[in-house]
Amino acid sequence: MKDPDSEKLFDYAHEQLGKRLPTDTFSGGQRSCKGCEGKVFRVIVETHEESEPDNFAGRILSTCVACGEEMDALGVYGAPREAAQTRRVGCKCGSDAFAIAQVVRFDEGFFDNGVIVAGCAKCGKKETLARTE
Ligand SMILES: [Zn+2]
Ligand SMILES: [Zn+2]
């Protein structure tokens, strides 16, 4: 399995966040496995009841394709509670292996909004898993 192009994943994340001001800065990183440093995961998105389209509440769980290590991929948003909806992320090409990145945008040093994106490890198609503000 080829290593997904992280550069393109970040480009996509920046597009999703929408650069508005010249003072905007971005920070973030691509997820890698704690066990083997692999960068390809199977992903489950748990959405909680209070989640909103622009302000995700829930968890994004990932399982490393290479070694099977399971992680809370990118933290918990909102209060931890029962998942209202659980979705296994899959690509139209049939693949269920993704690179994941979290990028946040700062306006003059203040957190503005964030996005968690996934890129298919097989065909490269990108998708937005969650937005936070
Ligand atoms: Zn691993
Ligand atoms: Zn795909």
pLDDT tens-digit map of 57-87: 888 999 999 999 998 755 555 566 677 889 9
Distance 53 CA to ligand 1 centre (A): 30
pLDDT grade for 122, boundaries at 50, 70 and 90: very high
Mean pLDDT over 108-116 rounds to 89
- The CA distance from 60 to 131, in Å, is 12
pLDDT, position 4: 52
**Domain parsing of the chain, residue ranges:** 6-132
Per-residue CA distances from 15 to 11, 32, 36, 37, 115 (Å): 6, 22, 30, 27, 10
Q: Which two tokens stand for residue 39?
A: 């960068």
* 40 alpha carbon, closest ligand: 1
Q: Which two tokens stand for residue 65?
A: 């394709």
Q: What is the 3-state secondary structure of 12-53?
A: HHHHHHCCCCCCEEEEEEECCCCCCCCCCEEEEEEECCCCEC
Distance 51 CA to ligand 1 centre (A): 29
Mean pLDDT over 105-121 rounds to 91
